[in-house]
């Protein structure tokens, strides 16, 4: 097993609705790729902030109250949501879109999970992409480790 | 032709759903669907598994994906499109929809007026409506309690505003099915008129606009012009037609059942006409429209008057 990428990446509010690209290189003769990704914090537990953000966004989007105060409260705590994609030298290898802030995947020519497609682990330039669907804290720290074997 | 029960918006564990593709197919079969489209968020990784499980179970599975972009969600059904969701921007979304349709896929605007950031970021359609007006379908109803609440009202209004402008967009429901839902909250069905329940026939049916959405009643309706009969989605030679409607309860509908019908309304670009309606009794209404005519069915459900079903439109004249 060889680590090809290990690091922490800071996402800020400026990254809302953008794709943050993290390039890495895969050496020759790899057959499997293990990806371990997590991010923190998941939640913003500040209820006052959450309610104000929901109310302001709701009125901006709908132009009228879509939800009652009780329904807004049921949406607390507001949370960060990131989705993850991978590009191989040949193109897109899929996307993992779910709420969990800790996810692990293994990709090979015959198997993959979580929204990725089975794919040959070719040597060359790859990219891990963090899509910032929702950020409700000032920063999010993404921890990423990619190993090949 | 007959109407088939379809669910065109579903998710599995390959994105944020709670059922595997096999479990979703099994559950859909149990719930009496003839077909589903698997539309996981930004991936088709579960599609072949679902198709295979569908073949075994006798359920048609349409290949699909939900373009889950930062500015809105669109379901794309057919499996032929080569658009990568990450390439979609507010500037090029119209082109991407066109591209997918040219490849033979069906594109629907999903839950356009649902709350977006920070509750369900991306769920609200922030695209300029003009740039997404090239879709085949509009989710007039969505998710739980589909015919109730502000988002449902706004979606219905926005869909009609598109028809008013001469666009031909079919009405669909999106369950946006993520969970097993053993005791389902209020939800709806999309029915698709087709020659049979094969994927190709259903794709043709959806594209032709032979759809209606319902919370528990079947809507058999046709337009009659002279000797000829037309289903919804058809372009009539004239807007002067008789609309024939028969509504019946859907017996295995699992949530609150409508207890009686009240009236049918024809909604056209020239206004609304209404007639009393009862279960199982055929009514005939004269209409005269210049662009479109839909049928809405009202009745009693949950001890109040509710909109129970909406059909896609009959059309006449030139398309915008
Ligand atoms: Zn969606
Ligand atoms: Zn969805």
Q: What is the pLDDT of residues B71-87, one digit of tens each?
A: 999 999 999 999 999 99
Q: Which of B117, B120, B84, B118 is nearest to B99 (CA)?
A: B84
pLDDT given at position B69? 98
Per-residue pLDDT, averaged over B50-75, amounts to 98
* Nearest ligand atom owner, CA of B111: 1
A69 touches chain B (CB under 8 A): no
pLDDT given at position B189? 98
**For B70, nearest residue in chain A (alpha carbons):** A17
Backbone φ and ψ for A117, nearest 5 degrees, come out as -105, 145
**Do B199 and B64 share a domain, yes or no?**
yes
Question: What percent of chain B lies above the pLDDT cut of 70?
Answer: 100
Q: Which residues are within 8 A (CB) of B280 and not within 5 positions of it... i.e. 6 or more apart?
A: B246, B247, B248
**Do B164 and B270 share a domain, yes or no?**
no
In a domain, B320, yes or no: no
In a domain, B269, yes or no: yes
CATH, residue B254? 2.60.40
The answer to whether A121 and A26 have CB atoms below 8 angstroms apart is yes
Interface test with B, best of A48, A51, A62, A129 (most B CBs within 10 A): A62
pLDDT given at position A67? 92
pLDDT given at position B15? 98
Check pLDDT > 90 for residue A139.
yes
The answer to whether B90 and B131 have CB atoms below 8 angstroms apart is yes
Residue with tokens 């075994």: B56
Residue A66 has its nearest CB partner, among B43, B70, B115, at B115
The answer to whether B69 and B88 have CB atoms below 8 angstroms apart is yes
Which pair of tokens denotes residue A39?
């991010």
**Do B186 and B306 share a domain, yes or no?**
no
Min distance B115 CA to chain A CA atoms (Å):
6
pLDDT given at position A82? 98
In a domain, B98, yes or no: yes
Question: What mean pLDDT is reported for chain B?
Answer: 97
d(CA B314, CA B243): 10
Per CATH, the number for A2-42+80-148 is: 2.60.120.380
Per-residue pLDDT, averaged over B128-136, amounts to 98
Give residue-wise pLDDT tens across range A39-89: 999 999 999 999 999 999 999 999 999 999 999 999 999 999 999 999 999
Interface test with A, best of B118, B125, B126 (most A CBs within 10 A): B118
Q: Do A66 and B86 touch (CB under 8 A)?
A: no
Neighbours of B55 (CB within 10 A): 12
Q: Which of B283, B65, B242, B143 is nearest to A117 (CA)?
A: B65
Q: Which of A53, A105, A97, A100 is nearest to A75 (CA)?
A: A53
**Do B220 and B209 share a domain, yes or no?**
no
User: What pLDDT band is residue A19 in, cutting at 50, 70 and 90?
Assistant: very high
pLDDT given at position B184? 83
d(CA B44, CA B177): 16
Which pair of tokens denotes residue A37?
């990704």
Domain ranges of chain A: 2-42+80-148, 44-78
**Do B63 and B179 share a domain, yes or no?**
yes
Q: Which domain holds residue B239?
A: 216-315
The answer to whether A106 and A34 have CB atoms below 8 angstroms apart is yes
**Do B65 and B191 share a domain, yes or no?**
yes
User: What pLDDT band is residue B262 in, cutting at 50, 70 and 90?
Assistant: very high
Q: Which of B180, B196, B213 delimits the end of a domain?
A: B213
User: What pLDDT band is residue B245 in, cutting at 50, 70 and 90?
Assistant: very high
Give residue-wise pLDDT tens across range A75-125: 999 999 999 999 999 999 999 999 999 999 999 999 999 999 999 999 999
| Beta bridge pairs of residue B266 | B273, B295
pLDDT given at position B216? 98
pLDDT given at position B318? 81
Per-residue pLDDT, averaged over B177-198, amounts to 95
Per-residue pLDDT, averaged over B253-277, amounts to 97
Check pLDDT > 80 for residue B203.
yes
Check pLDDT > 90 for residue B284.
yes
User: What pLDDT band is residue B89 in, cutting at 50, 70 and 90?
Assistant: very high
Check pLDDT > 90 for residue B42.
yes
How close are the terminal C-alpha atoms of chain A, in Å? 5
User: What pLDDT band is residue A144 in, cutting at 50, 70 and 90?
Assistant: very high
Cα–ligand 1 centroid distance for A12 (angstroms): 24
Domains of chain B: total: 2
pLDDT given at position A97? 98
In a domain, B26, yes or no: yes
Which pair of tokens denotes residue A23?
């390039």
Q: Which of B181, B161, B177 is nearest to B169 (CA)?
A: B161
Per-residue pLDDT, averaged over B106-128, amounts to 97
Q: Is B227 left (phi over 0), alpha (psi -120 to 50) or beta?
A: alpha
* Nearest ligand atom owner, CA of B125: 1
CATH, residue B99? 3.20.20.140
Question: What percent of chain B lies above the pLDDT cut of 90?
Answer: 97
Check pLDDT > 90 for residue B157.
yes
Check pLDDT > 90 for residue B183.
no
Cα–ligand 1 centroid distance for B182 (angstroms): 22
The answer to whether A84 and A127 have CB atoms below 8 angstroms apart is no
**Do B296 and B278 share a domain, yes or no?**
yes
Q: Do A62 and B86 touch (CB under 8 A)?
A: no
**Do B68 and B109 share a domain, yes or no?**
yes
pLDDT given at position B319? 76
């Amino acid at each position: 097993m060889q680590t090809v990428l290990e690091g922490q990446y800071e996402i800020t509010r400026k990254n809302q609705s953008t794709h943050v690209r993290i390039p890495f290189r895969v050496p020759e003769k790899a057959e499997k790729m293990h990806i371990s990704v997590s991010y923190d914090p998941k939640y913003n537990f500040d209820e006052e902030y959450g309610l104000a953000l929901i109310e302001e966004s709701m009125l901006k989007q709908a132009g009228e109250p879509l939800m009652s105060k009780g329904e807004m409260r049921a949406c607390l705590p507001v949370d960060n949501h990131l989705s993850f994609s991978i590009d191989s030298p040949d193109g897109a290898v899929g996307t993992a879109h779910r709420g969990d802030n800790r996810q692990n995947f293994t990709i090979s020519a015959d198997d993959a999970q979580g929204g990725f497609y089975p794919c040959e682990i070719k040597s060359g330039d790859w990219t891990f992409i963090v899509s910032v669907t929702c950020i409700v804290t000032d920063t999010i720290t993404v921890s990423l480790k990619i190993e090949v074997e | 032709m007959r109407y088939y029960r379809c669910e065109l918006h579903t998710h599995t564990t390959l994105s944020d759903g709670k059922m595997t593709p096999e479990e979703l197919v099994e559950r859909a079969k149990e719930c009496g669907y003839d077909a589903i489209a698997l539309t996981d968020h930004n991936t088709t990784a579960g599609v072949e598994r679902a198709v295979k499980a569908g073949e075994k179970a006798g359920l048609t599975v349409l290949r699909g994906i939900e373009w889950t972009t930062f500015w809105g969600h669109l379901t794309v059904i057919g499996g032929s499109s080569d658009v990568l969701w990450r390439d979609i921007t507010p500037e090029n979304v119209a082109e991407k929809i066109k591209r997918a349709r040219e490849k033979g896929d069906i594109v629907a605007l999903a839950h356009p007026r649902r709350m977006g950031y920070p509750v369900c970021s991306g769920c609200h359609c922030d695209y300029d409506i003009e740039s997404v007006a090239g879709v085949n379908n509009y989710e007039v109803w969505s998710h739980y309690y589909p015919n109730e609440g502000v988002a449902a009202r706004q979606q219905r209004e926005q869909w009609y505003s598109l028809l008013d402008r001469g666009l031909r967009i079919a009405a669909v429901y999106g369950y946006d099915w993520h969970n097993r839902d053993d005791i389902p909250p209020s939800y709806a069905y999309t029915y698709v008129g087709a020659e049979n329940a094969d994927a190709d026939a259903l794709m043709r049916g959806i594209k032709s606009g032979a759809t209606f959405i319902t919370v528990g009643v079947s809507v058999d309706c046709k337009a009659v012009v002279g000797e000829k009969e037309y289903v919804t989605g058809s372009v009539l030679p004239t807007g002067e037609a008789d609309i024939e409607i028969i509504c019946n309860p859907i017996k295995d509908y699992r949530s609150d059942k409508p207890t009686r019908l009240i009236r049918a309304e024809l909604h056209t670009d020239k206004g609304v006409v209404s007639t009393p309606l009862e279960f199982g009794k055929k009514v005939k209404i004269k209409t005269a429209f210049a662009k479109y005519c839909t049928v809405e069915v009202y009745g009693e459900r949950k001890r109040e008057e509710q909109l129970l079903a909406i059909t896609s439109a009959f059309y006449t004249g030139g398309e915008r």
